Amino acid sequence: MNSTQEWQNVTWFEVDEHQLGQRIDNFLFSRLKGVPKSRIYRLIREGQVRVNKKRIKAETKLAIGDMIRVAPIRYEQKDESAVPVSDKVAQSLLSRVIYEDEGLMVVNKPSGIAVHGGSGVAYGLIEGLRAASGKKYLELIHRIDRDTSGLVMISKKRSTLKLLQDMLREHKIKKTYAAVVKGQVALDRQLIDAPLHRYELANGERRVRVSKEGKESKTQWNVAERFMHGTLVYASPLSGRTHQIRVHGLSIGHPLIGDDKYGHETEYKGPKPRRLCLHAMRLEIPGYPTIEAPLPEDMQSLVAQLRAQKADKVVVSAKDDE
């Protein structure tokens, strides 16, 4: 059965102990293979996804025994099996595995590749790794934006998926990002505390803004190095909101360099970036060694160009971001 036909009837799912506490949107992403994320969000908004016969929101969390009903989905979508992952791409993805044990795989994702297929993307990181490794079970534990590079956690066992997603919900896993932002950030260290509200543009694209009606969101920013036209910052989100670091940077007048969604109109006279200057550089997971991915070459090159315009010293270590 191809992906055009697979979901054209009413579909039922029952939640077991492995999905306890999982958000309904994340649950559906991993099960409605081939259905674009934008379509899944629309199904939820329109009430075509019901949990125990009730309408729900994307952030609704599941309980054991919940019965999920998904209305028929009709759309044109190419069969994903018709787009095989090339040997070159497969080897490239496998070479980016930074850490692996019996239950967890951590990959240093390049900028420009989505973490999963859909919304016009033939395949993403997870599909590529499944094809490249031949492993029957691989699931994303969390997501980062397509244009963001860096560390992505992938489970090889359901028990690891539940354990680490529980840790994420309880804010026990510390994530640190390297970001290059516009202008010189004045404070060496600051906690950005600004609630974030997610909304949609007329074309269905998701955006985020600071709003009193938004959800509590906090990001710790530590300056690593200042330049004439920018600043290298180490940012640790203390909550897990969409586009959090990007919007928090904009909120204090320092949007990320290379961001075409937030703050692209802010003046910037430094070297031209190749992409969004945001990299997931470190994971600190209880019970695991600290996992790190060095700054990618394109961001290293940009930092070198910025540094050449005006040398400055590192004012705080990457490790001092408590």
Phi–psi pair at 17, nearest 5 degrees: -65, -20
pLDDT at 4: 41
Residue 107 carries which DSSP code?
E
Contacts for 119 with CB less than 8 Å, ≥ 6 apart: 36, 37, 38
For the chain, domains (ranges, CATH) are 11-70 (3.10.290.10), 85-170 (3.30.2350.10), 176-321 (3.30.2350.10)
As a whole number of Å, the CA-based R_g of the chain is 20
Model confidence, pTM: 0.72
Could you give the 3-state DSSP secondary structure of residue 46? coil
Reduced 3-state DSSP string for 220-289: EEEEEEECCCEEEEEEEECCCCCCHHHHHHHHCCCCECCCCCCCCCCCCCCCCCCCCCEEEEEEECCCCC
Q: What is the mean pLDDT of each run of 10 residues along the chain (322 residues)?
A: 59 88 90 84 91 92 93 60 59 90 96 76 78 83 94 94 93 97 97 93 84 94 97 95 95 96 93 96 97 97 91 48 46
pLDDT at 2: 42
Q: Which of 145, 166, 298, 312 is an active site residue?
A: 145
pLDDT at 80: 41
pLDDT at 6: 62
pLDDT at 122: 59
CA distances to 64, 93, 194, 239, 277 from 61, in Å: 10, 32, 24, 17, 32
Instruction: Count how many residues are written for the chain.
Output: 322
**Active site annotation includes 101:** no
Strands (E), the chain: 11-14, 49-51, 54-55, 67-70, 97-100, 104-109, 139-140, 149-155, 174-182, 189-193, 196-200, 206-210, 218-226, 230-237, 278-284, 291-292
pLDDT at 93: 85
Could you give the 3-state DSSP secondary structure of residue 322? coil
Bridge partners of 153? 106
